[in-house]
Structure 1
């Protein structure tokens, strides 16, 4: 730590505002060998929430003869229930994926550990279902990639007793090299097979080659989310509910204009939100709307202009984004002004990607930007009850997690200041 620590400089403005944390360059890519002993062994296992009290188990085999079946139960080795799913695969230029299995199991009891086996044999895995009521905790990290920094960040997340992981885009950084999707799934399997990972797409998931490939082929095939259950017609945007929290995952790289399917779906989804049963409302997407970093300036402006009034009217509590490889926390804001009825925006695109950090910030900083730092790390959101939550960001400091920023958050559904009047909507 001493050798690397000598190269680090922590800069703080005169009023204690962290403006930069100069880090070493991104570490090298991990070399991940296949964990599969045979073509029939399940591998790359990850899970996601789907509908009420159900879980989708996704895994891959190299043989089509393995059934898409999952056996499960609440005791090790005692599989009293089973479910059958579906199998898919995709081709990308000369690459042909393995056989990707998707199986939904349930109904499941809340806050309970289940043991499961994929394909009828092989390793036993286990996961814990989220609670049905508060408190509930989320690990949040974006722009992961698969470098040595990524491995360190994942280790820190594993030590946080979270119920669900939220990832606002840029997962594998495969960037057309499809075997990197396989190595990424191997890398995250120890976490993603034990807690549900809820993800949305980033720009590195597009992977479109005009006239040759479609956008999001690998992402849609490998990371299927509960879009159909939420009334969406696209895996690129969806919503789900867990323990008093309604979470909306939006697509920064699919049409979001007022005539688009995504915009109309978002309107309908907001209309179905019941703040009595889900008092917390969170939105996640990739390209940030608020950003005082020099990187990716203005890239979220069009989406913000179109959709921010919907979020404001719905009284969204928090918005999480990635894309910018740094951490930044804003106060409640609307139309680029501090507003107690707006959402709190947080940029968390600092998981450990191979491109390195976005270390340059604009100065002077906007008044609504409260904390910013260019370091790798992760976030922890603990929602304790219907009114209060605690957010903290943990810097990946030479492989040690260091809590650098934290804040208590009061939600808007119980705010006496914010009403549903036309005046509030106009801002």
Structure 2
């Protein structure tokens, strides 16, 4: 009898272990109760890189006369430096934003904790500058929104001790309802005020009403990125350097063909990359080029046809995208086929949005696809040195982060691929 009972238990356990992961149900949009604050009180504080050793502090006030001043220093309430910036606001149909402040501070020391205050009043904030050398930790999550799963994702990102957050589009899911931009800023402030958030636009940032409202007015007003510092003419695409990484943020929803400003800027930007100084080359945009999910199938094909040859010739290591509400990782790939000199493509549009997950995949999966799952979560890229990085994806399993995919990625720097590509890249950069 004992033997039979043990056998039954073993069988049940084996069946349970082999069963497909059962995803938790959707969670509702977060409710933000009204919280009256003084009109000059800084709200929606977030920070971003703004060129070498500088940081841009962004916040919103209801008081139109509040100064765009940031006081800061390396010890609490002892502000030894001060910077004054610029401000903007916008109107969208019947909505008028608060005063949106953008102030650049610096030069700052690398890997250093700073204390700062916005507008001469309100609470004190802390930020930590990224390191100038490896190792460096990047958190990655797109398509965030404002649901219970978003909160879970943010909590898990906060646990990973990241230096920089990369967001490949679809931030607030405001979808024309402007106060949702305000609540999103409130939701992410605890994280985004303490570490740089580098973002690019998605389709939910477009908010275009023909003859009435220009697209991206909300996004561009609130989330100013270092496009001017990287010689771009548009906030929709730019680049930055951090700790041996050159990161390029591209726009899926602005012109990208070979005659476009974005394409020509990309060529100019790539021509300045020195892989001795920045051995890792990363690219982010919203619509994935390699996607085996039924959702948004083929939407990135035109951009891929225009830009993939250029990125391949430059030896891009990893490409991050969002848009598809699921996770997928490829082998190194180029032109639809595995290629040891191609980029690893990672779709990570699973931050917690209100639209839910994209469950249906093509079957059989393409040869370039090695891991895919429709679950909410976030990714962590720990770049250890000039040649090796550890990528992991963490599923939101209820309220616990569960590491579900992990792989070491070897940089193309020093691999022999870059030597082969050098002539090809020079030819492409010289083309008018």
- Normalised by the length of structure 1, the TM-score is 0.94
The alpha-carbon distance between structure 1 residues 281 and 116, as it changes in their structure 2 partners (threshold 3 A), is: same
Residue 192 (structure 2) aligns with: 192
Aligned to 2:403: 403
Alignment of 1:121-270 (within 5 A): 121-270=121-270
Residue in structure 2 matched with residue 272 of structure 1 by the alignment: 272
Instruction: Determine the C-alpha separation between the residues in 1 that align with 2:143 and 2:67.
Output: 33
Cα displacement (A) at 1:10:
9.4
Determine whether 1:339 maps to 2:339: yes
In the TM superposition, 1:44-83 aligns within 5 A as 44-83=44-83
User: Tell me, what secondary structure is at the counterpart of 1:289?
Assistant: coil
Contact kept, 8 Å, 1:70 with 1:120, in 2: the verdict is: yes
Distance 1:369 1:112 in 2: 39
Indicate conservation of the 8 Å contact 1:21/1:359, yes or no.
Answer: no
Shift of 1:127: 0.5
Using the alignment, how far apart are the partners of 1:102 and 1:423 within structure 2? 42
Which residue of the partner structure matches residue 39 of structure 1?
39
The one of the two structures with greater contact order (alpha-carbon pairs below 8 A, sep at least 6) is 1
Deviation per residue, 1:349-391 (Å, 9 max, x gap) = 0000000000010000001100000000000000010110000
Q: CA deviation at 1:399?
A: 1.1
Q: In terms of Rg, which structure is larger?
A: 2
1:38 shift after superposition:
1.2
Q: Secondary structure at the match of 1:57?
A: strand
Alignment CA distance shift 1:36-1:116 (3 Å): farther
Partner of 2:356: 356
Instruction: Answer yes or no: is the 8 Å Cα contact 2:315–2:417 preserved in 1.
Output: no
Contact 2:280-2:317 within 8 A present in 1 as well: yes
Change (3 A) 1:227 1:11: farther
Find the aligned partners of 1:424 and 1:370 in 2 and give their Cα distance.
Answer: 29
1:379–1:36: structure 2 CA closer, same or farther, 3 Å change rule? farther
Q: Give 4+ residue runs of structure 1 displaced > 6 Å after superposition.
A: 9-13, 422-426
Using the alignment, how far apart are the partners of 2:231 and 2:34 within structure 1? 37
Cα contact 2:86–2:101 (8 A) shared by 1:
yes
Deviation at 1:121, TM superposition (A): 1.1
**How many angstroms apart in 1 are the aligned matches of 2:128 and 2:353?**
28
Query: Which position in structure 2 is the counterpart of 1:3?
Result: none
- Counterpart of 2:84? 84
Instruction: Give, in whole Å, the separation in 2 of the partners of 1:417 and 1:104.
Output: 38
> 5+ residue gaps in structure 1?
1-8, 14-19
Q: Distance in 2 between matches of 1:141 and 1:114?
A: 25
Distance 1:421 1:144, change over 3 A: closer
Consecutive unaligned residues in structure 2, runs of 5 or more: 1-14, 428-432
CA distance in 1, matches of 2:220, 2:110: 28
Q: Distance in 1 between matches of 2:326 and 2:372?
A: 7
Question: How big is the shift at 1:420?
Answer: 3.0
- Partner SS for 1:229: coil
Cα deviation for residue 21 of structure 1 reads 4.7
Greater helix content = 2
Structure 1 residues 12 and 300, CA gap change in structure 2 (3 angstroms): farther
Deviation at 1:65, TM superposition (A): 1.5
Q: CA RMSD in A?
A: 1.7
SS at match of 1:23: coil
Q: Distance in 2 between matches of 1:386 and 1:421?
A: 19
Q: Is the 8 A contact 2:380 2:391 kept in 1?
A: yes
Deviation at 1:35, TM superposition (A): 4.8
Structure 1 position 225, deviation (Å): 0.1
Cα distance between partner residues in 2 of 1:12 and 1:130: 42
- Count, aligned residues: 412
Distance in 1 (alpha carbons) for counterparts of 2:18 and 2:284: 29
Contact 1:48 1:55 (C-alpha < 8 Å) held by counterparts: yes
Any idea what the Cα deviations from partners look like across 1:260-307, whole Å, max 9, x if unmatched?
000000000000000000000000000000000000000000000000
Match of 1:16 in 2: none
Quote the offset at 1:23 in angstroms: 2.5
Cα distance 1:417–1:239, how it changes in 2: closer, same or farther (>3 A)? Answer: closer
